[in-house]
């Protein structure tokens, strides 16, 4: 596996990443007890599909995502439940 590029997601804003052609490790930091914590991010996968590494605690709606090449994805993670969708 290639060396991972690491990003800390900022709570409550959409984190934008442009064309990503590598392995990406995302960290969720800054959650606050007793409120809804939402982490949002968007990225475009390059010619080689992006490999996402996220905490194992995330439970995905419709199973873990399979990232395809040359698509743009948006993801929302609220209370460790992740929803991701992609479009050309």
- pLDDT single digits (tens) 26-73: 777 777 778 888 999 999 998 888 888 888 889 999 888 889 999 999
N-term to C-term CA, the chain: 26
How open is the CA angle 41-75-54, to the nearest 5 degrees?
A: 80
**Domain count within the chain:** 1
Q: Measuring CA to CA, which residue among 18, 23, 25, 13 is closest to residue 55?
A: 25
Q: Return the H-helix or E-strand segment holding 52.
A: strand 51-53
Contact 9, 31 (CB under 8 A): no
Structural domain span for residue 38? 4-87
Q: What is the reported pTM?
A: 0.81
Please give the pLDDT value at position 72: 94
């Amino acid at each position: 596996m290639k060396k991972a590029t690491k990003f800390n997601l900022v709570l409550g804003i959409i984190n934008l990443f442009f064309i990503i052609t590598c392995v990406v490790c995302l960290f969720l930091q800054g959650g606050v007890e007793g409120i809804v914590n939402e982490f949002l991010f968007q990225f475009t996968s390059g010619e080689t599909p992006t490999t996402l590494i996220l905490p194992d605690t995330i439970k995905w709606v419709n199973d873990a995502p399979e990232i395809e090449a040359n698509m743009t994805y948006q993801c929302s993670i609220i209370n460790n439940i992740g929803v991701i969708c992609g479009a050309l």
